[in-house]
Structure 1
Protein backbone atom coordinates (compact mmCIF):
# COMPACT_ATOMS: atom_id res chain seq x y z
CA UNK A 1 0.00 0.00 0.00
CA UNK A 2 1.41 3.40 -0.99
CA UNK A 3 1.91 5.90 1.80
CA UNK A 4 0.06 9.04 0.78
CA UNK A 5 0.86 11.64 3.45
CA UNK A 6 4.16 12.95 2.10
CA UNK A 7 3.99 16.74 1.77
CA UNK A 8 7.59 17.08 0.56
CA UNK A 9 7.77 13.86 -1.43
CA UNK A 10 8.98 10.46 -0.22
CA UNK A 11 12.62 10.17 -1.32
CA UNK A 12 14.46 13.24 -0.07
CA UNK A 13 18.22 13.71 -0.17
CA UNK A 14 20.01 15.73 2.49
CA UNK A 15 22.28 17.21 -0.15
CA UNK A 16 25.89 18.12 0.44
CA UNK A 17 26.86 21.70 -0.33
CA UNK A 18 29.50 21.66 -3.07
CA UNK A 19 32.47 23.97 -2.66
CA UNK A 20 35.25 24.85 -5.06
CA UNK A 21 38.81 23.80 -4.45
CA UNK A 22 39.39 27.08 -2.64
CA UNK A 23 36.35 26.60 -0.41
CA UNK A 24 33.95 28.98 -2.14
CA UNK A 25 30.34 28.05 -2.75
CA UNK A 26 30.05 26.10 -6.03
CA UNK A 27 26.63 27.04 -7.35
CA UNK A 28 27.16 25.41 -10.74
CA UNK A 29 28.20 22.18 -9.02
CA UNK A 30 25.19 22.37 -6.72
CA UNK A 31 22.88 22.63 -9.69
CA UNK A 32 24.51 19.68 -11.46
CA UNK A 33 24.41 17.52 -8.34
CA UNK A 34 20.77 18.43 -7.74
CA UNK A 35 19.81 17.39 -11.28
CA UNK A 36 21.66 14.09 -10.88
CA UNK A 37 19.81 13.36 -7.65
CA UNK A 38 16.42 14.15 -9.14
CA UNK A 39 17.24 12.10 -12.24
CA UNK A 40 18.11 9.26 -9.85
CA UNK A 41 14.71 9.27 -8.20
CA UNK A 42 14.81 11.92 -5.47
CA UNK A 43 11.58 13.88 -5.36
CA UNK A 44 12.85 16.28 -2.71
CA UNK A 45 16.14 17.98 -1.82
CA UNK A 46 17.00 19.28 1.63
CA UNK A 47 19.58 22.05 1.53
CA UNK A 48 21.67 23.55 4.33
CA UNK A 49 21.07 20.76 6.79
CA UNK A 50 23.69 18.92 8.81
CA UNK A 51 25.04 17.23 5.69
CA UNK A 52 24.96 20.61 3.93
CA UNK A 53 27.38 22.14 6.48
CA UNK A 54 24.89 24.86 7.37
CA UNK A 55 26.87 26.17 10.38
CA UNK A 56 29.67 27.19 8.01
CA UNK A 57 27.67 28.92 5.27
CA UNK A 58 26.57 32.55 5.40
CA UNK A 59 22.96 33.70 5.14
CA UNK A 60 23.71 35.01 1.65
CA UNK A 61 25.21 31.67 0.59
CA UNK A 62 22.17 29.81 1.90
CA UNK A 63 19.82 31.98 -0.18
CA UNK A 64 22.02 31.69 -3.27
CA UNK A 65 22.09 27.90 -2.90
CA UNK A 66 18.29 27.71 -2.76
CA UNK A 67 17.94 29.88 -5.86
CA UNK A 68 20.55 27.88 -7.82
CA UNK A 69 19.00 24.50 -6.99
CA UNK A 70 15.49 25.79 -7.67
CA UNK A 71 16.62 27.03 -11.05
CA UNK A 72 18.33 23.71 -11.83
CA UNK A 73 15.47 21.35 -10.93
CA UNK A 74 12.50 23.62 -11.55
CA UNK A 75 9.32 21.96 -10.36
CA UNK A 76 10.64 18.40 -10.61
CA UNK A 77 11.40 18.19 -6.89
CA UNK A 78 10.58 20.01 -3.69
CA UNK A 79 13.31 22.18 -2.21
CA UNK A 80 13.39 22.25 1.58
CA UNK A 81 15.74 24.74 3.21
CA UNK A 82 17.41 24.18 6.53
CA UNK A 83 16.92 27.35 8.56
CA UNK A 84 17.36 26.17 12.15
CA UNK A 85 19.77 27.97 14.46
CA UNK A 86 20.10 28.45 18.22
CA UNK A 87 18.55 31.93 17.90
CA UNK A 88 14.82 32.31 17.25
CA UNK A 89 15.19 35.72 15.66
CA UNK A 90 17.86 34.49 13.25
CA UNK A 91 15.83 31.38 12.40
CA UNK A 92 12.83 33.56 11.57
CA UNK A 93 14.99 35.68 9.28
CA UNK A 94 16.32 32.60 7.49
CA UNK A 95 12.81 31.19 7.03
CA UNK A 96 11.65 34.41 5.38
CA UNK A 97 14.76 34.51 3.19
CA UNK A 98 14.21 30.89 2.15
CA UNK A 99 10.66 31.68 1.09
CA UNK A 100 11.88 34.63 -0.95
CA UNK A 101 14.61 32.52 -2.59
CA UNK A 102 12.11 29.93 -3.81
CA UNK A 103 12.07 27.14 -1.21
CA UNK A 104 8.98 24.93 -0.88
CA UNK A 105 9.44 24.34 2.85
CA UNK A 106 11.81 24.76 5.76
CA UNK A 107 13.60 22.31 8.03
CA UNK A 108 13.85 23.62 11.60
CA UNK A 109 16.15 21.89 14.07
CA UNK A 110 15.83 22.24 17.83
CA UNK A 111 17.93 25.16 19.11
CA UNK A 112 21.25 23.69 20.12
CA UNK A 113 23.62 24.52 22.98
CA UNK A 114 21.09 26.55 25.02
CA UNK A 115 18.93 23.42 25.53
CA UNK A 116 15.54 25.15 26.00
CA UNK A 117 12.86 23.35 28.04
CA UNK A 118 9.83 21.98 26.21
CA UNK A 119 7.61 25.05 26.62
CA UNK A 120 10.34 27.30 25.21
CA UNK A 121 11.04 24.81 22.43
CA UNK A 122 7.38 24.76 21.47
CA UNK A 123 7.23 28.55 21.46
CA UNK A 124 10.32 28.68 19.23
CA UNK A 125 8.82 26.36 16.63
CA UNK A 126 5.50 28.20 16.64
CA UNK A 127 7.17 31.55 16.11
CA UNK A 128 9.18 30.22 13.18
CA UNK A 129 6.10 28.58 11.65
CA UNK A 130 4.21 31.87 11.95
CA UNK A 131 6.99 33.83 10.28
CA UNK A 132 6.43 32.70 6.68
CA UNK A 133 3.91 30.94 4.50
CA UNK A 134 6.10 27.86 4.08
CA UNK A 135 5.28 24.44 5.56
CA UNK A 136 7.64 23.33 8.31
CA UNK A 137 9.49 20.07 8.88
CA UNK A 138 10.72 19.79 12.48
CA UNK A 139 14.11 18.13 12.97
CA UNK A 140 14.45 15.98 16.07
CA UNK A 141 18.10 15.03 16.55
CA UNK A 142 18.90 15.20 20.28
CA UNK A 143 22.30 13.57 19.81
CA UNK A 144 23.48 16.78 18.15
CA UNK A 145 21.29 19.44 19.75
CA UNK A 146 21.17 18.16 23.32
CA UNK A 147 17.39 18.64 23.38
CA UNK A 148 14.71 16.12 22.53
CA UNK A 149 11.41 17.21 21.03
CA UNK A 150 9.26 15.15 23.36
CA UNK A 151 6.35 13.22 21.83
CA UNK A 152 3.74 15.26 23.71
CA UNK A 153 5.34 18.46 22.38
CA UNK A 154 5.17 17.09 18.83
CA UNK A 155 1.53 16.12 19.32
CA UNK A 156 0.69 19.68 20.41
CA UNK A 157 2.70 21.21 17.56
CA UNK A 158 0.83 19.04 15.06
CA UNK A 159 -2.13 21.35 15.57
CA UNK A 160 -0.29 24.22 13.88
CA UNK A 161 -1.44 24.46 10.25
CA UNK A 162 2.08 24.91 8.86
CA UNK A 163 3.89 22.31 10.98
CA UNK A 164 3.39 19.27 8.78
CA UNK A 165 6.37 16.93 9.11
CA UNK A 166 9.19 15.59 11.28
CA UNK A 167 12.67 14.46 10.32
CA UNK A 168 13.27 11.81 12.96
CA UNK A 169 16.77 11.14 14.29
CA UNK A 170 15.60 10.45 17.82
CA UNK A 171 16.36 6.71 17.69
CA UNK A 172 13.12 6.24 19.62
CA UNK A 173 11.02 4.07 17.34
CA UNK A 174 8.24 3.66 19.85
CA UNK A 175 7.81 7.41 20.21
CA UNK A 176 7.79 7.84 16.44
CA UNK A 177 4.98 5.30 16.08
CA UNK A 178 3.07 7.00 18.87
CA UNK A 179 3.19 10.39 17.14
CA UNK A 180 2.36 8.89 13.74
CA UNK A 181 -0.67 7.16 15.24
CA UNK A 182 -1.97 10.26 17.04
CA UNK A 183 -1.26 13.06 14.55
CA UNK A 184 -1.23 13.86 10.86
CA UNK A 185 2.48 14.66 10.92
CA UNK A 186 4.46 13.15 8.06
CA UNK A 187 7.39 11.27 9.56
CA UNK A 188 10.63 11.07 7.59
CA UNK A 189 13.46 8.77 8.62
CA UNK A 190 16.57 10.83 9.22
CA UNK A 191 18.78 7.78 9.85
CA UNK A 192 19.23 5.64 6.74
CA UNK A 193 19.08 2.35 8.63
CA UNK A 194 15.48 3.25 9.54
CA UNK A 195 14.28 4.13 6.03
CA UNK A 196 12.23 1.01 5.40
CA UNK A 197 11.28 0.29 9.01
CA UNK A 198 9.71 3.70 9.56
CA UNK A 199 8.04 3.62 6.15
CA UNK A 200 6.49 0.25 6.95
CA UNK A 201 4.68 1.63 10.02
CA UNK A 202 3.27 4.67 8.26
CA UNK A 203 6.25 6.98 7.73
CA UNK A 204 6.28 9.34 4.78
CA UNK A 205 9.73 8.42 3.48
CA UNK A 206 13.25 9.55 4.28
CA UNK A 207 15.65 12.47 4.35
CA UNK A 208 18.85 10.65 3.46
CA UNK A 209 22.53 11.51 3.44
CA UNK A 210 23.36 8.21 1.73
CA UNK A 211 21.07 9.21 -1.17
CA UNK A 212 23.83 11.55 -2.30
CA UNK A 213 25.61 8.46 -3.67
CA UNK A 214 22.86 5.84 -4.24
CA UNK A 215 19.65 7.79 -4.90
CA UNK A 216 18.05 5.24 -7.24
CA UNK A 217 18.62 2.25 -4.99
CA UNK A 218 17.17 3.92 -1.90
CA UNK A 219 14.16 5.08 -3.90
CA UNK A 220 13.76 1.50 -5.11
CA UNK A 221 13.35 0.28 -1.52
CA UNK A 222 10.22 2.42 -1.12
CA UNK A 223 8.82 1.60 -4.54
CA UNK A 224 9.28 -2.13 -4.05
CA UNK A 225 7.47 -1.88 -0.73
CA UNK A 226 4.63 0.10 -2.32
CA UNK A 227 4.37 -2.52 -5.07
CA UNK A 228 3.85 -5.20 -2.43
CA UNK A 229 7.26 -6.83 -2.94
CA UNK A 230 8.22 -6.39 0.69
CA UNK A 231 10.81 -9.17 0.61
CA UNK A 232 12.74 -7.48 -2.18
CA UNK A 233 12.46 -4.14 -0.40
CA UNK A 234 13.92 -5.65 2.76
CA UNK A 235 16.71 -7.39 0.84
CA UNK A 236 17.75 -4.18 -0.89
CA UNK A 237 17.67 -2.24 2.39
CA UNK A 238 19.81 -4.95 3.97
CA UNK A 239 22.33 -4.88 1.13
CA UNK A 240 22.81 -1.16 1.76
CA UNK A 241 23.73 -1.75 5.42
CA UNK A 242 27.50 -1.88 4.98
CA UNK A 243 27.51 1.30 2.90
CA UNK A 244 25.22 3.07 5.37
CA UNK A 245 27.51 2.05 8.21
CA UNK A 246 30.64 3.17 6.35
CA UNK A 247 29.15 6.57 5.55
CA UNK A 248 27.29 7.28 8.78
CA UNK A 249 28.88 5.27 11.60
CA UNK A 250 32.58 5.23 10.83
CA UNK A 251 33.54 7.78 13.47
CA UNK A 252 33.50 10.59 10.91
CA UNK A 253 30.64 12.99 10.13
CA UNK A 254 28.50 11.88 7.21
CA UNK A 255 29.40 15.07 5.36
CA UNK A 256 33.07 14.10 5.40
CA UNK A 257 32.55 10.53 4.20
CA UNK A 258 29.93 11.44 1.61
CA UNK A 259 32.06 14.16 0.06
CA UNK A 260 35.02 11.80 -0.03
CA UNK A 261 33.00 9.17 -1.90
CA UNK A 262 31.45 11.71 -4.28
CA UNK A 263 34.94 12.94 -5.12
CA UNK A 264 36.00 9.43 -6.16
CA UNK A 265 33.07 9.48 -8.59
CA UNK A 266 34.09 12.89 -9.97
CA UNK A 267 30.79 14.38 -8.81
CA UNK A 268 30.35 17.89 -7.40
CA UNK A 269 31.35 18.02 -3.76
CA UNK A 270 34.65 19.74 -3.07
CA UNK A 271 36.28 20.09 0.33
CA UNK A 272 34.57 20.35 3.68
CA UNK A 273 34.83 23.61 5.56
CA UNK A 274 36.63 23.86 8.91
CA UNK A 275 36.33 22.75 11.62
CA UNK A 276 35.77 19.56 9.63
CA UNK A 277 38.75 17.92 7.95
CA UNK A 278 38.70 15.74 4.82
CA UNK A 279 38.81 11.96 4.99
CA UNK A 280 42.25 10.46 4.58
CA UNK A 281 43.26 8.28 1.65
CA UNK A 282 42.75 4.97 3.46
CA UNK A 283 39.23 5.92 4.54
CA UNK A 284 38.38 7.11 1.04
CA UNK A 285 39.59 3.88 -0.53
CA UNK A 286 37.58 1.83 1.94
CA UNK A 287 34.48 3.86 1.12
CA UNK A 288 35.04 3.30 -2.58
CA UNK A 289 35.44 -0.45 -2.05
CA UNK A 290 32.28 -0.68 0.05
CA UNK A 291 30.33 1.29 -2.53
CA UNK A 292 31.55 -0.91 -5.39
CA UNK A 293 30.63 -4.07 -3.47
CA UNK A 294 27.13 -2.73 -2.91
CA UNK A 295 26.60 -1.83 -6.54
CA UNK A 296 27.91 -5.20 -7.73
CA UNK A 297 25.82 -7.17 -5.24
CA UNK A 298 22.68 -5.22 -6.07
CA UNK A 299 23.08 -5.66 -9.81
CA UNK A 300 23.69 -9.38 -9.38
CA UNK A 301 20.79 -9.94 -6.98
CA UNK A 302 18.07 -7.85 -8.59
CA UNK A 303 19.09 -5.87 -11.65
CA UNK A 304 15.44 -4.88 -12.13
CA UNK A 305 15.57 -2.71 -9.00
CA UNK A 306 17.86 -0.29 -10.82
CA UNK A 307 16.82 -0.47 -14.47
CA UNK A 308 13.35 1.08 -14.02
CA UNK A 309 14.87 4.09 -12.32
CA UNK A 310 17.42 4.67 -15.02
CA UNK A 311 14.57 4.60 -17.52
CA UNK A 312 12.52 6.99 -15.42
CA UNK A 313 15.53 9.27 -15.03
CA UNK A 314 15.98 9.40 -18.80
CA UNK A 315 12.30 10.22 -19.20
CA UNK A 316 12.40 12.97 -16.60
CA UNK A 317 15.53 14.46 -18.17
CA UNK A 318 13.69 14.75 -21.45
CA UNK A 319 10.67 16.53 -20.01
Structure 2
Protein backbone atom coordinates (compact mmCIF):
# COMPACT_ATOMS: atom_id res chain seq x y z
CA UNK A 1 0.00 0.00 0.00
CA UNK A 2 1.36 3.42 -0.97
CA UNK A 3 -0.09 6.90 -1.02
CA UNK A 4 0.19 9.11 -4.08
CA UNK A 5 0.02 12.88 -4.34
CA UNK A 6 0.55 15.75 -1.94
CA UNK A 7 0.92 14.88 1.75
CA UNK A 8 1.10 18.08 3.82
CA UNK A 9 3.13 18.05 7.02
CA UNK A 10 0.63 19.97 9.14
CA UNK A 11 1.65 22.56 11.74
CA UNK A 12 0.61 22.18 15.39
CA UNK A 13 -0.89 25.39 16.85
CA UNK A 14 0.25 26.25 20.39
CA UNK A 15 -1.64 28.80 22.45
CA UNK A 16 -0.18 31.56 24.59
CA UNK A 17 -0.10 29.10 27.49
CA UNK A 18 2.00 26.67 25.45
CA UNK A 19 -0.74 24.09 25.15
CA UNK A 20 -1.97 22.63 21.88
CA UNK A 21 -4.99 24.48 20.50
CA UNK A 22 -6.98 21.52 19.23
CA UNK A 23 -9.78 23.67 17.82
CA UNK A 24 -7.30 25.52 15.62
CA UNK A 25 -5.55 22.24 14.78
CA UNK A 26 -8.85 20.75 13.62
CA UNK A 27 -9.62 23.80 11.48
CA UNK A 28 -6.27 23.52 9.72
CA UNK A 29 -6.75 19.80 9.13
CA UNK A 30 -10.14 20.45 7.53
CA UNK A 31 -8.55 23.12 5.32
CA UNK A 32 -5.96 20.59 4.12
CA UNK A 33 -8.60 17.96 3.39
CA UNK A 34 -10.86 20.36 1.51
CA UNK A 35 -7.92 21.51 -0.64
CA UNK A 36 -7.72 17.99 -2.07
CA UNK A 37 -4.56 16.74 -0.39
CA UNK A 38 -3.92 13.01 -0.48
CA UNK A 39 -3.30 12.61 3.25
CA UNK A 40 -2.19 14.29 6.45
CA UNK A 41 1.26 13.95 8.00
CA UNK A 42 1.09 14.67 11.73
CA UNK A 43 3.88 15.48 14.24
CA UNK A 44 6.53 16.02 11.57
CA UNK A 45 9.30 18.59 11.92
CA UNK A 46 6.85 21.16 10.55
CA UNK A 47 4.43 20.09 13.28
CA UNK A 48 7.13 20.40 15.97
CA UNK A 49 6.55 16.80 17.01
CA UNK A 50 9.97 16.57 18.60
CA UNK A 51 9.02 19.48 20.88
CA UNK A 52 6.00 17.61 22.23
CA UNK A 53 5.54 14.91 24.83
CA UNK A 54 4.49 11.40 23.83
CA UNK A 55 1.00 12.06 25.21
CA UNK A 56 0.70 15.24 23.13
CA UNK A 57 1.82 13.50 19.95
CA UNK A 58 -0.71 10.74 20.53
CA UNK A 59 -3.46 13.30 21.18
CA UNK A 60 -2.64 14.98 17.85
CA UNK A 61 -2.87 11.67 16.00
CA UNK A 62 -6.21 10.88 17.65
CA UNK A 63 -7.53 14.34 16.77
CA UNK A 64 -6.41 14.01 13.15
CA UNK A 65 -8.03 10.58 12.80
CA UNK A 66 -11.30 11.93 14.19
CA UNK A 67 -11.26 14.95 11.87
CA UNK A 68 -10.26 12.94 8.80
CA UNK A 69 -12.90 10.30 9.55
CA UNK A 70 -11.53 8.07 6.80
CA UNK A 71 -11.63 10.76 4.09
CA UNK A 72 -7.82 10.77 3.82
CA UNK A 73 -5.12 8.69 5.50
CA UNK A 74 -3.43 10.02 8.63
CA UNK A 75 0.31 9.35 8.77
CA UNK A 76 1.94 9.79 12.17
CA UNK A 77 5.58 10.88 12.36
CA UNK A 78 7.63 8.87 14.84
CA UNK A 79 11.29 8.70 15.79
CA UNK A 80 13.50 9.42 18.76
CA UNK A 81 16.98 8.63 20.05
CA UNK A 82 15.67 5.46 21.70
CA UNK A 83 13.84 2.44 20.35
CA UNK A 84 11.50 2.51 23.34
CA UNK A 85 10.08 5.97 22.63
CA UNK A 86 9.77 5.29 18.91
CA UNK A 87 7.99 1.99 19.47
CA UNK A 88 5.58 3.63 21.91
CA UNK A 89 4.71 6.25 19.27
CA UNK A 90 4.30 3.61 16.55
CA UNK A 91 2.00 1.43 18.60
CA UNK A 92 0.07 4.43 19.93
CA UNK A 93 -0.53 5.64 16.37
CA UNK A 94 -1.77 2.20 15.37
CA UNK A 95 -4.25 2.11 18.26
CA UNK A 96 -5.41 5.65 17.43
CA UNK A 97 -6.34 4.63 13.89
CA UNK A 98 -3.46 6.04 11.84
CA UNK A 99 -3.07 4.58 8.36
CA UNK A 100 0.71 4.54 8.60
CA UNK A 101 3.80 6.14 10.10
CA UNK A 102 6.68 8.24 8.87
CA UNK A 103 9.81 7.12 10.69
CA UNK A 104 12.75 9.43 11.36
CA UNK A 105 16.14 7.85 12.04
CA UNK A 106 17.63 8.34 15.51
CA UNK A 107 19.27 11.73 15.78
CA UNK A 108 22.58 12.71 17.42
CA UNK A 109 24.08 9.19 17.21
CA UNK A 110 26.13 8.49 14.08
CA UNK A 111 24.84 5.05 13.19
CA UNK A 112 26.70 2.60 11.00
CA UNK A 113 25.22 1.33 7.75
CA UNK A 114 24.11 -1.90 9.43
CA UNK A 115 22.64 -0.06 12.41
CA UNK A 116 20.61 2.20 10.10
CA UNK A 117 19.21 -0.71 8.12
CA UNK A 118 18.48 -2.79 11.22
CA UNK A 119 16.72 0.14 12.90
CA UNK A 120 14.14 0.60 10.16
CA UNK A 121 13.57 -3.13 9.74
CA UNK A 122 13.13 -3.45 13.51
CA UNK A 123 10.71 -0.51 13.72
CA UNK A 124 8.73 -1.94 10.83
CA UNK A 125 8.15 -5.11 12.83
CA UNK A 126 6.55 -3.33 15.80
CA UNK A 127 3.11 -2.88 14.21
CA UNK A 128 1.08 -3.84 11.18
CA UNK A 129 1.25 -0.27 9.84
CA UNK A 130 3.03 0.53 6.57
CA UNK A 131 5.71 3.17 6.95
CA UNK A 132 7.49 5.95 5.12
CA UNK A 133 11.16 6.62 5.85
CA UNK A 134 12.21 10.26 6.16
CA UNK A 135 15.70 10.35 4.69
CA UNK A 136 17.10 13.57 6.12
CA UNK A 137 20.43 15.16 6.96
CA UNK A 138 19.17 16.07 10.43
CA UNK A 139 19.59 12.57 11.85
CA UNK A 140 22.21 9.81 11.84
CA UNK A 141 23.39 10.23 8.28
CA UNK A 142 21.38 9.94 5.09
CA UNK A 143 20.53 6.52 3.74
CA UNK A 144 22.12 5.64 0.42
CA UNK A 145 20.25 3.81 -2.32
CA UNK A 146 21.70 0.40 -1.51
CA UNK A 147 20.68 0.80 2.14
CA UNK A 148 17.13 1.65 1.08
CA UNK A 149 17.09 -1.41 -1.17
CA UNK A 150 18.20 -3.58 1.75
CA UNK A 151 15.37 -2.26 3.93
CA UNK A 152 12.84 -2.80 1.12
CA UNK A 153 14.08 -6.37 0.67
CA UNK A 154 13.74 -7.05 4.40
CA UNK A 155 10.25 -5.67 5.07
CA UNK A 156 7.18 -5.18 2.85
CA UNK A 157 5.89 -2.54 5.27
CA UNK A 158 8.41 -0.04 3.87
CA UNK A 159 6.10 1.56 1.30
CA UNK A 160 7.33 5.14 0.97
CA UNK A 161 10.39 7.38 1.13
CA UNK A 162 10.47 11.09 1.88
CA UNK A 163 13.74 11.77 0.10
CA UNK A 164 15.82 14.65 1.38
CA UNK A 165 18.72 13.97 -0.98
CA UNK A 166 17.49 15.25 -4.31
CA UNK A 167 20.73 14.11 -5.99
CA UNK A 168 19.74 10.46 -5.58
CA UNK A 169 15.95 10.84 -5.80
CA UNK A 170 15.54 9.76 -9.42
CA UNK A 171 17.84 6.78 -8.89
CA UNK A 172 15.77 5.71 -5.89
CA UNK A 173 12.66 5.90 -8.08
CA UNK A 174 14.36 3.77 -10.74
CA UNK A 175 15.52 1.08 -8.33
CA UNK A 176 12.74 0.93 -5.74
CA UNK A 177 9.53 1.81 -7.59
CA UNK A 178 6.80 0.67 -7.61
CA UNK A 179 7.38 -1.20 -4.33
CA UNK A 180 8.37 2.04 -2.61
CA UNK A 181 6.70 5.35 -3.41
CA UNK A 182 9.20 8.21 -3.50
CA UNK A 183 8.21 11.69 -2.32
CA UNK A 184 10.35 14.79 -2.39
CA UNK A 185 10.88 16.59 0.90
CA UNK A 186 11.78 19.77 -1.00
CA UNK A 187 8.75 21.72 -2.14
CA UNK A 188 10.85 23.31 -4.89
CA UNK A 189 11.33 19.92 -6.61
CA UNK A 190 7.79 18.54 -6.82
CA UNK A 191 7.52 18.86 -10.61
CA UNK A 192 11.06 17.58 -11.15
CA UNK A 193 10.54 14.41 -9.11
CA UNK A 194 7.11 13.89 -10.67
CA UNK A 195 8.73 13.92 -14.10
CA UNK A 196 11.23 11.30 -12.88
CA UNK A 197 8.40 8.98 -11.81
CA UNK A 198 8.04 10.03 -8.19
CA UNK A 199 4.81 9.57 -6.27
CA UNK A 200 4.34 13.04 -4.79
CA UNK A 201 5.67 15.23 -2.01
CA UNK A 202 5.54 15.66 1.74
CA UNK A 203 5.10 19.42 1.83
CA UNK A 204 5.39 22.27 4.30
CA UNK A 205 4.21 25.07 2.00
CA UNK A 206 0.74 23.49 1.90
CA UNK A 207 0.08 25.08 5.29
CA UNK A 208 0.20 28.48 3.56
CA UNK A 209 -0.92 27.67 -0.01
CA UNK A 210 -2.87 24.41 0.35
CA UNK A 211 -4.30 24.37 -3.18
CA UNK A 212 -1.12 25.23 -5.11
CA UNK A 213 0.86 21.97 -4.62
CA UNK A 214 -2.34 19.99 -5.27
CA UNK A 215 -2.96 21.85 -8.53
CA UNK A 216 0.66 21.27 -9.51
CA UNK A 217 0.34 17.54 -8.93
CA UNK A 218 -2.96 17.34 -10.80
CA UNK A 219 -1.42 19.16 -13.76
CA UNK A 220 1.38 16.58 -13.81
CA UNK A 221 -1.06 13.68 -13.69
CA UNK A 222 -3.06 15.22 -16.54
CA UNK A 223 0.09 15.45 -18.68
CA UNK A 224 -0.05 19.26 -18.62
CA UNK A 225 3.69 19.68 -18.32
CA UNK A 226 3.87 23.38 -19.10
CA UNK A 227 1.17 24.15 -16.54
CA UNK A 228 2.92 21.98 -13.94
CA UNK A 229 6.16 23.89 -14.55
CA UNK A 230 4.38 27.25 -14.28
CA UNK A 231 2.78 26.21 -10.98
CA UNK A 232 6.14 25.03 -9.65
CA UNK A 233 7.63 28.39 -10.60
CA UNK A 234 4.81 30.13 -8.72
CA UNK A 235 5.34 27.95 -5.64
CA UNK A 236 9.12 28.28 -5.43
CA UNK A 237 9.38 31.84 -4.01
CA UNK A 238 6.96 30.93 -1.23
CA UNK A 239 8.73 27.65 -0.49
CA UNK A 240 12.11 29.41 -0.24
CA UNK A 241 10.73 32.24 1.89
CA UNK A 242 9.23 29.88 4.45
CA UNK A 243 12.62 28.40 5.35
CA UNK A 244 14.59 31.62 5.73
CA UNK A 245 14.67 31.39 9.53
CA UNK A 246 14.07 28.86 12.30
CA UNK A 247 11.52 26.39 10.98
CA UNK A 248 8.46 26.59 11.14
CA UNK A 249 8.39 30.13 12.54
CA UNK A 250 7.79 31.77 9.15
CA UNK A 251 5.02 29.30 8.28
CA UNK A 252 3.11 30.13 11.44
CA UNK A 253 3.77 33.84 11.01
CA UNK A 254 2.31 33.84 7.51
CA UNK A 255 -0.66 31.72 8.52
CA UNK A 256 -1.48 34.10 11.36
CA UNK A 257 -1.05 37.02 8.98
CA UNK A 258 -3.61 35.45 6.66
CA UNK A 259 -6.10 34.92 9.47
CA UNK A 260 -5.49 31.19 9.91
CA UNK A 261 -4.96 30.10 13.50
CA UNK A 262 -1.39 28.84 13.64
CA UNK A 263 -0.54 29.99 17.16
CA UNK A 264 3.04 30.19 18.38
CA UNK A 265 6.12 28.02 18.09
CA UNK A 266 7.58 26.31 21.13
CA UNK A 267 10.95 27.26 22.62
CA UNK A 268 13.78 27.13 21.80
CA UNK A 269 12.20 28.44 18.57
CA UNK A 270 11.00 32.03 18.47
CA UNK A 271 8.05 33.47 16.59
CA UNK A 272 8.48 35.39 13.34
CA UNK A 273 9.18 39.06 13.93
CA UNK A 274 7.65 42.05 12.19
CA UNK A 275 10.90 42.38 10.24
CA UNK A 276 10.48 38.78 9.06
CA UNK A 277 6.92 39.50 7.98
CA UNK A 278 7.97 42.60 6.03
CA UNK A 279 10.24 40.38 3.93
CA UNK A 280 7.48 37.82 3.38
CA UNK A 281 4.57 40.12 2.48
CA UNK A 282 5.75 41.01 -1.07
CA UNK A 283 5.96 37.30 -1.90
CA UNK A 284 2.45 36.73 -0.58
CA UNK A 285 1.20 39.69 -2.60
CA UNK A 286 2.54 38.10 -5.79
CA UNK A 287 0.17 35.19 -5.14
CA UNK A 288 -2.61 37.63 -4.25
CA UNK A 289 -2.68 36.43 -0.64
CA UNK A 290 -3.70 39.28 1.60
CA UNK A 291 -4.27 39.57 5.31
CA UNK A 292 -7.79 39.12 6.62
CA UNK A 293 -6.95 40.98 9.81
Q: TM-score of the superposition, structure 2-length normalised?
A: 0.94
Partner of 2:174: 181
Q: Is 1:68 aligned with 2:68? A: no
| 1:285 CA displacement | 2.9
Partner of 2:226: 231
SS at match of 1:133: coil
**Aligned length in residues:** 286
Unaligned runs of 5+ in 1: 1-5, 297-319
Partner of 1:282: 275
In 2, Cα distance between equivalents of 1:230 and 1:185: 24
In 2, Cα distance between equivalents of 1:155 and 1:98: 26
1:1-319 to 2 correspondences below 5 Å = 7-142=2-137, 144-159=138-153, 160-172=155-167, 175-183=168-176, 184-248=179-243, 250=244, 252-295=245-288
SS at match of 1:158: helix
SS at match of 1:279: coil
In 2, Cα distance between equivalents of 1:261 and 1:77: 25
In 2, Cα distance between equivalents of 1:240 and 1:98: 32
In 1, Cα distance between equivalents of 2:246 and 2:152: 31
In 2, Cα distance between equivalents of 1:114 and 1:17: 27
| 1:288 CA displacement | 2.8
SS at match of 2:12: coil
SS at match of 1:232: helix
Moved beyond 3 Å, runs of 4+: none
SS at match of 1:145: coil
Q: Retained in 1: the 8 A contact 2:3–2:181? A: no
In 1, Cα distance between equivalents of 2:164 and 2:48: 17
In 2, Cα distance between equivalents of 1:263 and 1:40: 19
**1:92-147 superposed Cα distances (whole Å, 9 cap, x missing partner):** 111001111111110111211001111001111111100001101000011x1241
Q: Which has the higher contact order (CA 8 A, sep 6+)?
A: 1
RMSD: 1.3
Unaligned runs of 5+ in 2: none
In 1, Cα distance between equivalents of 2:285 and 2:224: 25
Q: Retained in 2: the 8 A contact 1:92–1:127? A: no
In 2, Cα distance between equivalents of 1:185 and 1:261: 34
Q: TM-score of the superposition, structure 1-length normalised?
A: 0.87
Q: Retained in 1: the 8 A contact 2:7–2:39? A: yes
SS at match of 1:206: strand
